[in-house]
Structures are given as structure tokens and as C-alpha cells.
Amino acid sequence: MGLLYVFPVSEEETDFVVKKDDTLILKTYGLPYIFWIYALCAVLVVFFMFLAIKEPVLKLISLGEETDASLGYALLTFVGLVPVFILSFFFYEKRITKKKNELGIEHRIFGLKAFSEKFLLEKSDQLEIDNYIDSPNIARMKNTPESLGFQNRGYFTLRLVSAEGKKIMLDRHNRKVDLEKLKDLILKN
């Protein structure tokens, strides 16, 4: 999700970089505004779907047996939770917290902490940047000036290698330079 939720790469981005005493907190940016239009369209589709099924489902609940009623309630609950699920993508935030040699990764939805992990960062080579590419395409194999825009370059990942050798992805980006700046920002604090 790093291609959608981007981390800041310098301390000048004060809304998303917080420095208190010896703690550095990096927060991801939200989704671009065009995605809010997509969300509005999706929620409108679900709303019109609810209007179309409301009467038959309410009739099923009132006239049916226990099984029919529970299916009706389950359907109404599902249709009610779909907009919440869609909006959770817009209120998702990932945080990287560095305090001395402790690195924390935190996932928040609607401002509430959903999941967090803490790792020891003892050496600077524990943060590594890798290039990931599924498979090169024909444009990359030909390597002509006309096909330059069609080449599959993949993306880059910034990973933390824990003491146990486990690789934890901190961020991913299509520009290696941004990940190097993020790595430097984490290491210098």
C-alpha cells in the first residue's frame, strides 16, 4: 500500500513529521482527492442498492421464520458495513516511530490503533532498499527510445531486517530516491 499511502521524506513536512524530544513520528499522507470521488460513487451505488432491496428484505424479516429473519438482518448489516469499509481506506494511517534505537510501526484506522509492532534498530544496515519487479516486458527487452515510456521498472521497497532475520516492509515507492531520503530521515534521528 506504499504506492498509495506515501511517507514524508524531509523534516520540512511538518504536518506529517513530528519531533518531540528524542522521538520521531512519521505519518503517511492521505489518499489523493480524486479517490474521494470514487468513494462517493461507491457509497451512492450501495445506497441505491439498499433502496432496491429494503422492502423485500423487511418483508422477509417480518413474515419469515428465524432463518429468513437472520438472513435478512445479515444482509442489511452487510449493506450497512460496506460504506464503513470503503471509508476505512480513507481514514487509514501508517506511522513509523523512532525513539533512540527502537523502531515502531503502527497502523491506525479512523484514528484508532489497529495494529503495532516494535523492533530494535541496532545497525544502519538493518534498513535496506530492494528493487522488486515481477517480470520485464517486451518494451524493456527492446530498450528503444520509442518504448521507454512502456517499460516495466517495478517498484522499490524499504525493509527492516530484524535481529531474527525477518524482513518487515516499512514502505514502498516507485522512486528509489524517496526511499533513500526516508531511510536517512529515520537513521539520523
Q: What integer pLDDT is reported at residue 18 of this predicted model?
A: 87
Q: What integer pLDDT is reported at residue 163 of this predicted model?
A: 79
What are the φ and ψ backbone dihedral angles of 153, each rounded to 5 degrees? -100, -10
15: left (phi over 0), alpha (psi -120 to 50) or beta: alpha
Q: What integer pLDDT is reported at residue 1 of this predicted model?
A: 45
Task: List the one residue out of 115, 118, 109, 113 whose CA is nearest residue 30.
Answer: 109
Helix, strand, coil tally for the chain in percent (to 5): 45, 30, 30
Q: What integer pLDDT is reported at residue 114 of this predicted model?
A: 92
Q: How far is CA 103 from the centre of its chain?
A: 18
Q: What integer pLDDT is reported at residue 133 of this predicted model?
A: 76
Q: What integer pLDDT is reported at residue 93 of this predicted model?
A: 92
Q: What integer pLDDT is reported at residue 122 of this predicted model?
A: 81
Q: β-pairing, 167-173 with 23-27?
A: unpaired
Task: List the one residue out of 89, 92, 60, 91 whose CA is nearest residue 76.
Answer: 60
Give me the residue label for grid cell 491506525.
Answer: 108
Q: What integer pLDDT is reported at residue 139 of this predicted model?
A: 72
DSSP state of 111: T
Q: β-pairing, 167-173 with 17-20?
A: unpaired
Q: What integer pLDDT is reported at residue 3 of this predicted model?
A: 54
Question: Residue 185 has which C-alpha cell?
Answer: 530521515
17-20, strands of its sheet edge to edge: 17-20, 23-27, 92-99, 102-109, 112-120
Rounded average pLDDT per 10-residue block, the chain, 189 residues:
72 85 88 90 95 93 88 94 92 91 91 91 84 73 77 82 85 86 85
